[in-house]
Amino acid sequence: MMSFKAPRAHKFAESPVLKLRLPTWRSRLVALLILSCFALLIGRSFYLQVLNNDFLQEKGDSRYRRDLEISASRGRIVDRNGDVLAVSTPMKSIWAIPADAHLTPQQAQQLAALLEMDGKELSRRLTSDKSFVFLKRQLPPDVGERVAVLKLPGIGEDKEYRRYYPSGEMTAHMVGFTGVDDKGLEGVELAFQGQLLGHAGSRTVIKDRRGQIVEDVGSIKPPQDGKDIHLALDSKIQYLAYSQLKQAVVDYNAKAGGAVVIDTKSGEILALANWPTYNPNNRERLSGSQLRNRAVTDSFEPGSTLKPFTIAEALETGKVRFDTVIDCAPGKLTIGTATISDAHSHGALTVAQVIQKSSNVGAAKIAALLTPTQMWDTFDAVGFGQISHLGFPGEVGGRLRPWKTWRPIEQATMAYGHGISVSLLQLARAYTVFAREGDIIPLSLTKTDAPPVGTTTVFSQQTVREMRAMLEMAVQAGGTAPRAQIPGYRVAGKTGTAYKLEGGQYAKKYVASFVGFAPASDPRLIVAIMIDEPAGLQHFGGDVAGPAFAALMGGALRTLGIPPDASQHPDGSVAGMQVALSGEAAKKPAVKEKM
């Protein structure tokens, strides 16, 4: 019987395959490569997380961290008595982060209904590739609260402000308005943009994946509210200017009009109104004619309101005297191929009567005694052809051509306000030389308690006294503006009626104006009224603008509590002439000028 012998077991380590030995350098190379990879990973991690973590931080912040703007309130605009003319009211803005705004169709429909938006427009904004978009701005706070209740992912709301104008269309052209971004676009809102505009703050928050704020990280910058602006404007006088101007435009079926009231002592603009106007709280249907601040942006030929400056220069240089006689017969004057005419033939007139009767022929003959340089210097000194730099958008400087280009006929017509253009604000300011002591002062939109700085003397006090007497005669019986009289007050002023220039030629359309001051014994206010294209039989400045001046000036004087002065001088013209002639002019005999 054969015996079976089990095979001898081999140890694993004695395998012939394992007995093959690899070169030592290969194992070391593999180990080195593995260690190098680990080293690179560790180095990269250290670089990203320690040395340069901006990239990862930015990616993380973009998903969970947001910097939200904290709105600042724009400064208020108030009148000289503290009455609010413009104020910012809290509103809500609804915004979205498109990457987080994953709304269901039902949620999108609810949101569109609350925001009163078209569904397609809402969808377009929510799918924008921008990181942040506004869905609707300046919404009532209750709408913002209703949106917040929905707790929609990626949708948020912020507080912002909307401008409100309590006085509405009455002060629209003076105050102006702001845009949706709370920046001034017109009027004082634009002129004082730097002071009114607040500086928004910001805060940093962390949001969850639904876009909801879960933590306030901190405030980066607190908001700074804008500064209040205290205007020189007096709301009561502004209302008078607005209402009387509107009534005059309606009564005479005119195209438009403007009114300005200036304090002669300080240069403050107490009122500035235009018609047509607009409601700054509702600007959905606006036209260019409504937006135009005509008293500042429109220029026109002033007509006879310019005669006092020509005659004042002739008085100042000694070319004529108060009672110098000018032969104005037969009411026409031919210079070259052109003829100047008066509305009525007057015959011989004194210089004072040239103003009282508003004789074009008389003014042209007086201008002939002056050189073009003298006339140009006078017009330039009172501000014609210059911008007043009040900051109003679109402010014009008018048109005053260089004196070297003047022809004789042009010098003659400029004497009575044709061939030169001014704004109503310029014209009102120019009359401060007669309402003061011969000096002109800068105007101010803001309330000021200090004396005006930068005054320029144009005429002597004697010339001013004589001119005041002439301007008083113009509003009395026999003058061109008896309808500008104010019971209880002495008034001085001048009418203007000018043809409008269209397409390089004068059309049979008129600009009627009146500029005057009161009380004449110690002038406190200047009022300038301009009515553009009055229709009907009446189109002269004394008939159209004179009554509006009287109503506005009378109401303003009573509003300021300025006592009447007519009782001191029952016969205004005689008293004025006596005052004017109390100087050297009264000592000389009358001079007759034959021209």
Q: Beta-carbon neighbour count of residue 428 at 10 Å?
A: 27
CA gap 382, 309 in Å, rounded: 9
Cα–Cα separations (whole angstroms), residue 489 to 193, 266, 400, 521, 566: 40, 21, 35, 9, 5
Count other C-beta atoms under 10 Å from residue 46's C-beta: 11
What phi and psi, each to the nearest 5 degrees, are found at residue 339?
-125, 130
Q: Which residues of 120-154 are buried (b: 16+ CB within 10 A; e: fewer)?
A: eebeebbeeeeeebebbeebeeebbeebeeeebbb
Q: Which amino acid is located at 162 in the chain?
A: R
For residue 330, the SS3 value is coil
Distance between start and end Cα atoms, the chain: 175
Active-site annotation holds for 304: yes
Q: Is 393 exposed, middle or buried (0-12, 13-18, 19+ CB in 10 A)?
A: middle
- Catalytic option among 71, 266, 299, 304: 304
Asked if 511 and 498 count as a contact pair (C-beta separation under 8 A), the reply is yes
- Do residues 519 and 564 touch, judged by C-beta distance below 8 A? yes
Name residue 58's beta-bridge partners: none
CA distance 589 to 278: 57
CA 36 to chain centre: 72
DSSP letter assigned to residue 166: T
The answer to whether residues 125 and 133 touch, using CB atoms and an 8 Å cutoff, is yes
Instruction: With beta carbons less than 8 A apart as the criterion, state whether 107 and 153 touch.
Output: no
Q: Which residues contact 10 (CB under 8 A, 6 or more apart)?
A: none
| Beta strands 348-350 and 338-341, pairing class | unpaired
| Residue 427, Cβ density class (10 Å: 0-12 exposed, 13-18 middle, ≥19 buried) | buried
Dihedral sign for Cα atoms in the order 252, 253, 255, 260: positive
**Pair type for strands 77-78 and 229-230:** parallel
**Burial tier of 478 (Cβ tally within 10 Å: 0-12, 13-18, 19+):** exposed
Q: How far apart are CA 581 and CA 587, in angstroms?
A: 8
Catalytic site positions: 304
